[in-house]
């Protein structure tokens, strides 16, 4: 891991007590479901879903990829939405501030952006629908990152199951002086919970 990402992970691992008891129950149940699938297939995909696939779903995908490397788990993370937009510029700037490396050679409205967290390890992020060719068609669990996607996407074809883990939308701070602080706070909240989830998966393996 890049040094700043290593430091960030260490910080977030110490903050599990910030997760509510209600959310811990959801994450513990999800960890059990994931381990049940892993016991049979030895690998599993996670699809993080939010309406525009521009903010929270990408944050979930990124943290899922980081956590899989950190805990050495056979889990591959993807993201999708019910509409196509683009990875939001404030997400990109926030990631750079937190120590991720960003690479994009496209000037398209919805460019494919490579987000690296260690040498030779990156996450490919761009806005896409659930049935996009880049996303898995089976052997995956859908993680609904916002209440809107949960309500408007009642069925995700091919998913083993779907689990609602909604987070507040930092979009509310767009255009304000607090925008990057808000995006970072959401990124950290998602990071704490994804690291907690993966830690539970790893512990349940033993």
Asked if the structure places residue 121 within a domain, the reply is yes
Question: Which residues, at least 6 apart from 87, have a Cβ–Cβ distance to it below 8 Å?
Answer: 54, 58, 110, 111, 113, 125, 126, 127
CATH number for 93: 3.40.50.2300
Q: How many domains does the chain have?
A: 1
In the block, which residue shows the tokens 């691992």? 13
d(C-alpha 149, C-alpha 137), whole Å:
18
Q: pTM of the predicted model, to two decimals?
A: 0.96
In the block, which residue shows the tokens 């381990």? 35
Asked if the structure places residue 18 within a domain, the reply is no
Q: How confident is the model at residue 206 (pLDDT cuts 50, 70, 90)?
A: low
pLDDT in tens, 63-74: 999 999 999 999
Asked if the structure places residue 102 within a domain, the reply is yes
The DSSP result for 141-201, as a single string, is EEEE-SHHHHHH----TTEEEEEE-----GGGGTTSTTHHHHHHHHHHHHHHHHHHHHHHH
Asked if the structure places residue 158 within a domain, the reply is yes
pLDDT in tens, 70-119: 999 999 999 999 999 999 999 999 999 999 999 987 778 999 999 999 99
Residue 67: give the domain boundaries. 3-9+43-205
Q: How confident is the model at residue 57 (pLDDT cuts 50, 70, 90)?
A: very high
């Amino acid at each position: 891991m890049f040094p700043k990402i290593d430091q960030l992970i260490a910080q977030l691992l110490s903050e599990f007590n910030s997760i509510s008891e209600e959310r811990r129950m959801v994450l513990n149940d999800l960890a059990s479901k994931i381990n049940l699938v892993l016991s049979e297939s030895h690998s599993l995909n996670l699809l993080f879903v939010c309406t525009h696939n521009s903010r929270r779903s990408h944050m979930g995908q990124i943290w899922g990829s980081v956590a899989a490397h950190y805990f050495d788990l056979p889990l591959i993370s993807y993201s999708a939405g019910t509409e196509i937009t683009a990875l939001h510029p404030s997400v990109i700037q926030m990631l750079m501030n937190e120590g991720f490396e960003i690479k994009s050679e496209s000037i398209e409205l919805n460019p494919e952006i490579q987000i690296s967290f260690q040498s030779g390890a990156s996450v490919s992020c761009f806005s896409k629908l659930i049935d996009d060719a880049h996303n898995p068609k089976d052997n995956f669990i859908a993680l609904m990152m916002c209440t809107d996607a949960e309500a408007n996407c009642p069925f995700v074809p091919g998913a083993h199951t779907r689990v609602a883990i909604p987070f507040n939308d930092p979009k509310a701070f767009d255009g304000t002086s607090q925008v990057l602080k808000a995006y970072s706070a959401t990124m950290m909240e998602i990071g704490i919970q994804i690291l907690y989830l993966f830690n539970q998966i790893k512990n349940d393996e033993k």
